[in-house]
Structure 1
Amino acid sequence: MDRPRWFRLQALHRVSVAQLDALANELPDASVWAGALLACEPMKRTSRNPSKKKSLQRLVRTALRCWDTDKGWCAIAELQMRGSPRTLASAKRLARSASWRRRSLGLYIASQLTQRKGASSSEYAVEETHKLLLDGLHDQHLDVVRAAVSGLGHRPHPSALADLVRWSAHPHTSLRWNVAVTLGRYEDPIAIEALLRLAVDPDDAVRDWATFGLGSLQSADTPEIRAALWRNLDDQDADVRGEALVGLAVRHDERAVDHLVEHLGPQCLVYDLDAAQALAVPRLLSPLQAIAGALKDEDKEGYWFGRLQAAIEACRTESCDS
């Protein structure tokens, strides 16, 4: 299964930290994925999270001492869920520190600061955390800027857009990647222009997220976007190709149907099945059913099989209605 798309979509739908950690361990550059996506959307915390019992000061120490590790990110995740005047004051102090790591931590806390209300939670101190994040865009240290860019993907602010576009041309791949992730949340022509540039970035991961942003997060449907998606359908990277296909499918581009008719088979990826479901055309029903009919019993479970069933149902419904 093409795990990056599963990981990306589940993160956007708030999976638990336990699920995220389990999947991150199966991915290359696990700490990069876990860190970036823990800072991608507010996560539900599991009752088994040991960080819940730690004091604010101890969580801060753990986050700093275990920087960029699973343990450190779990401490940050717990800090983000403790929205209160005290936690906000701590984030502000950290953001003013002479240490780049402390400043980064302050921004990571601010980026998703939420307050628990029973089983649910709500954003906390949005206006004040926006100010911290916007100021962070002008920091002298790259890692602090990355934290600010990441945070402004969770808490978008129109005033950030010009700086985000400026940072999209930075020579450091890690920062361009953060910008590619964040710009998907900004439905503005200049954000789309930047994503179009990032969709041809030399780095595979940057192209992947820029293509995802254009194809799945942006609602705009322009000739330029379709041209970029069609071009990336022939990319050297499988995830870029997959996101391009899904982007064309959600725009009901007929070329996506032709592509799937040619490529659907037992080894197809979740991208192909998501695209088939989005298109929901009778032409795809027969090849999808052929895939299902050839499966062994032990293959009829899991996420991939669920996506296959959803694609078949979508195409069957359309076939009955036509």
Structure 2
Amino acid sequence: MGKKTERLFRELQGDNKKRAEAAAVELRLLAPRHYPRLLALADHPRATVRARLCSALGQLGGYDDSGPRLTRLGVPTLLRLLAHDPRARVRAAAAHALARGYHVRPGMLPALFAAAHDPSKRVRRGVCQALGGMCWDEGVTAPQCQQLHDIFLENLSSPDPYLRNWTAFFIHCKKLDSPALRAALWRLVDDPKDAVRAEACATLGLLGDRAIVPYLARQFESGTVWSWNLDAAVKLGDPAFLPALRRLRKGYRKTHWFYKSVTTALQAIQSRVL
């Protein structure tokens, strides 16, 4: 084993946090022959090292060219840590690594479904990211789709604004729709968190719910908007958006990318009105 690889393993297990984090990133270039040694850290007595292992596996999953082998070895390790590690920080790191570095497959769903109700908020957040980022059209069964739907429905009523926010975002990304989800999204239209309100308005608009028009226009007035709020306005094509969008655009320089995005949305809506 080369000196650099030895150094990375040493720093990953050391006490210097910054060096350990840097080592986790550099390990994305680790040769496959070293995977067994890396995966053995899943049984390290220090929770800090186990969490760093998860971070390294997330990096490897995103960059490694020998993906099938790494997935075969690394994913079971992450799922085991997610399900059974006694420390919440390790379970959370495993969930975020799965979300960041791997394509979530149907076979991973049972562990993720169980972890969606983990007592740790950090774990639930990582699971939300993993479930939201998966491709649902690749072998997911109808019962699994229903479980995903039910978990997202629970998240929309979570006291954690992170879960409410990201779940609303993932619903329109995945084009999920049901009366129960719409009712939950409507409850978020008056959420105390501005970012959550913005996501709920965008999602309802992208689902074609025209009743959201005055609420989405009000969101443009608040200034907390994302590009998909503009997409929702264009899809609905209502002239009620035009004054709010013009005022929103005044807050940006003409060279700013969002100024151009608002201009494009204005032009699209105007072309439908005329």
Q: What range is the shorter-chain TM-score in? A: 0.7 to 0.9
**Between Structure 1 and Structure 2, whose CA radius of gyration is higher?**
2
What amino acid is the match of 1:93? A
2: CA distance, partners of 1:178 / 1:235: 22
Greater percentage in helix: 2
* Residues 93 and 238 of structure 1, relative CA distance in 2, 3 Å threshold: same
Task: Provide the rounded CA distance (Å) in 1 between the counterparts of 2:107 and 2:161.
Answer: 29
User: Which residue is equivalent to 2:155?
Assistant: 198
Distance 1:217 1:207 in 2: 14
Alpha-carbon separation, structure 2, partners of 1:263 and 1:131 = 43
User: Partners in 2 of 1:275 and 1:122 — Cα distance?
Assistant: 39
Shift of 1:288: 5.2
With normalisation by structure 2, the TM-score equals: 0.78
Write the letter of the residue equivalent to 2:150. E
RMSD: 3.0
Cα displacement string for residues 133-158 of structure 1 (whole angstroms, at most 9, x for unaligned residues): 22222222222211221222242132
Specify the SS of the correspondent of 1:264: helix
SS, match of residue 260 in structure 1:
helix
Change (3 A) 1:83 1:307: farther
Against the structure 1 CA distance between its residues 63 and 315, is the aligned structure 2 distance closer, same or farther, given a 3 Å change threshold? farther
Q: Alignment partner of 1:236: what SS?
A: coil
Q: What residue is the counterpart of 1:140 in the other structure?
A: 86
In the alignment, structure 1 residue 312 sits paired with structure 2 residue 266 = yes
Whole-angstrom CA distance in 2 between matches of 1:314 and 1:56? 54
Among candidates 102, 126, 131, match of residue 49 of structure 2:
102
Identity value in percent: 24
Structure 1: give runs of 5+ residues left out of the alignment: 1-53
Gaps of 5+ in 2: 137-144
- Number of the residue aligned with 2:71: 126
1:269 maps onto 2:228 in alignment = no
C-alpha deviation, 1:301, in angstroms: 3.3
- Listed as ranges, the matches of 1:282-293 within 5 Å are 282-284=238-240, 286-287=242-243, 290-291=246-247
Q: 1:56 & 1:315 partners in 2: Cα distance?
A: 56
Distance in structure 2 (CA, Å) of the matches to 1:115 and 1:260: 36
Counting only pairs closer than 5 Å after superposition, residues 161-240 of structure 1 correspond to structure 2 as: 161-186=109-134, 187=136, 188-214=145-171, 216-240=172-196
Rounded Cα–Cα distance in structure 1 between residues aligned with 2:90 and 2:202: 33
Q: Please tell me whether residue 251 in structure 1 is matched to residue 196 in structure 2.
A: no
1:77 aligns with 2:25: yes
CA shift at 1:129, angstroms? 1.6
Deviation at 1:315, TM superposition (A): 2.2
Question: Deviation digits for residues 149-187 of structure 1, max 9, x if unmatched?
Answer: 122224213233223222222332222222222221344
Range with greater deviation from structure 2 (282-291 or 149-158)? 282-291
Q: 1:123 to 1:289 in 2, by over 3 A?
A: same
Query: Which secondary structure state, in structure 2, belongs to the residue aligned with residue 234 of structure 1?
Result: coil
